[in-house]
Every structure is written in structure tokens, then in C-alpha cells.
Structure 1
């Protein structure tokens, strides 16, 4: 089930986030967070008019997704960057796809124009998922990050949410 996140989901969201911090290059942070941090993060997202969605499976938070500003300048207001994460034990069940489809639908309903993905270049499952959802690979920046004692490359992908010829 995909639904809007609530503060009661913060512990589950923090656990998924912290696993990605500790064990993957999906998140380039090195510091874990607690549930209070995720409550504050959700409140800030929602105050900005941005969704935070969770995938609930087997009675627990199995994944989450959100989008927020691409850049902090007025000219970028119709472009957002998203994130999607699924708990290790729930991967391969289609939850990331379901979260992304719901997130894309929310972005279209909000009259946004472009959704951006910034993905660690060796994360083939994420790149493949995004390609299957219509995202196009726009560029890979080499050695722009570091984690686990190695340089990381960042692949940018974009999805045009509509075909309007000019901004509204």
C-alpha cells in the first residue's frame, strides 16, 4: 500500500535511511539519523508543499519516496529532484516502481514540468528502474563524491512530466 507518510512512520523511514547510509552508495552521507530528525525532515517537506510517501508491506514501512526543490532559485520552481528507498528485505517486490509511479502522479498533479534523478553511476538497478519509467540519462559527472574510500560518479536522469511548450 502506498500512502502519505505520517510522523508515526519516522522510525521506519530512519531505519531505511540509516541502512542506505551505512551499507550503500545510494546516499552519500556518513551520519545516521534518528526518528526525530525524520519527523523534522517530513515536516519541512510537507511545509514546502512536497509529498513524502511510504510503501507499507507486512505491517511496516518498507520504503519511502519524496521530492523537493531541484535548486533554490525561482527559475527552477517547476523542476524537482526526487529520492526513493526500499528496505533491504523488501527489494525486488516492485515497491520502488509503485512509489515512483505515485510520486510521478503527484508531480504531474502539481503541474510540475521536470523530475530529476541523481543516481550513483554504478547503481544499475536504480538506473534501470528510472529508464523503465521514461527517465532519460542526461550526463554522468565523474568523481564528484566519495564514500567507502573511493570516488563516486553521479548520473543525472530527467523525466519530462508534460509537453507544454512554455512555462505557465
Structure 2
């Protein structure tokens, strides 16, 4: 499978919601409960780019099949060297090493921004996401019980952290 990774463009928004919305509607991996429109996703992309934080897309045969981005961890100034990471793949492309390739590229881009820490929240259970994060060097640092309610059940969230070399 030939896959290329490139920076996102606002014009990618429709393809990105095509990947994201099935997760919104059919899983607990995101706590959003309503589908996102391409215009909303374009605004999120623009906000991310204005913050000079990386957002990457993976393309196969000219089609976006995954994306990953870093966003601000918290709004307070002292958190400015910490970001939260996110990665989503088209389900047809999971289990093929694409998530690892895309996420590793995101971490490299985060490192190039002279940031210090990457944090990722994972709705639990999610063995494949935990394995991906731990393979990339993330360590579990927190577990919050029953903090989200979706699909008629309470969902735990774990937090994994990666400290980047100074």
C-alpha cells in the first residue's frame, strides 16, 4: 500500500469528516455525539493552523485515509509546551501499520515545534489505541472512571503521555 503523508489543507475538511463522523455515530472513541459538518471541520483546521500546530493527512491513491493532529492541551500560558494528540483512520486502513506511520510523523512534527509533552486521551477499553500509543513510547499516567456517557453506557478515559527530549 503506497501512502503519502502531507500537511492538511482546509479543503480536506469534507474528506476528514467522512472518516470522523462514523466514529462519532458508532463508537465511544470520541465523546462528540452529533456528526460534524465540513464547514465546522474547516474552522477547526484553520484554528489549528493559526496556532502553528501540526495536522497531517495520509493519502492512498489520491484519497485521504487518515489524519492526525496536535491541539492545545489547556488554555493557560504555562501549558504552551504541551499538546494533545489525535489520530483517526478510515476503518478499511486499520491494522496495516498506517496508524503507526502517521502518528510517528505527527510526533516528529510536534518535536520540530520545540514542544515538550504530548498527551492523548483514550476512551476505554480500546486495546488497539493503547498498543499504538505504547509502541510509540507513551506511558499511561491517569485513569478516570465513568467520565463520559455515550451509547447508553458510562465510559472510562485513560491518559497517556509522551515526554519529548529537550
Classify the TM-score, shorter chain: over 0.9
CA contact (8 A) 1:121 1:140 kept: no
Corresponding residue of 1:41 = 44
1: CA distance between counterparts of 2:60 and 2:27? 22
> Is 1:80 matched up with 2:60?
no
Number of the residue aligned with 2:148: 145
Structure 1: state its 5+ residue gaps.
Answer: none
Q: Distance in 2 between matches of 1:138 and 1:109?
A: 24
Give RMSD over aligned pairs: 0.9
Give SS of 1:25's match.
coil
Q: Distance in 2 between matches of 1:39 and 1:11?
A: 8
The whole-number CA distance in structure 2 between the counterparts of 1:95 and 1:25 is 21
State whether structure 2 residue 95 is matched by structure 1 residue 92. yes
1:114 Cα offset (Å): 0.5
- Spell out the pairing of 1:4-153 with structure 2 (5 A cutoff): 4-153=7-156
Counterpart for residue 5 of structure 2: 2
Pairs aligned (count): 163
After TM superposition, give the deviation of residue 4 of structure 1 in Å: 0.5
Deviation sequence 1:122-152 (CA, Å, 0-9, x none)? 0110000000000001111000111100000
Question: Partners in 1 of 2:77 and 2:12 — Cα distance?
Answer: 32
1:53-96 Cα distance to aligned partner (Å, 9 max, x none): 10101321100010111111011111100100001111112111
**Length-normalised TM-score, structure 2:** 0.95
Runs of at least 4 residues of structure 1 off by over 3 A? Answer: none
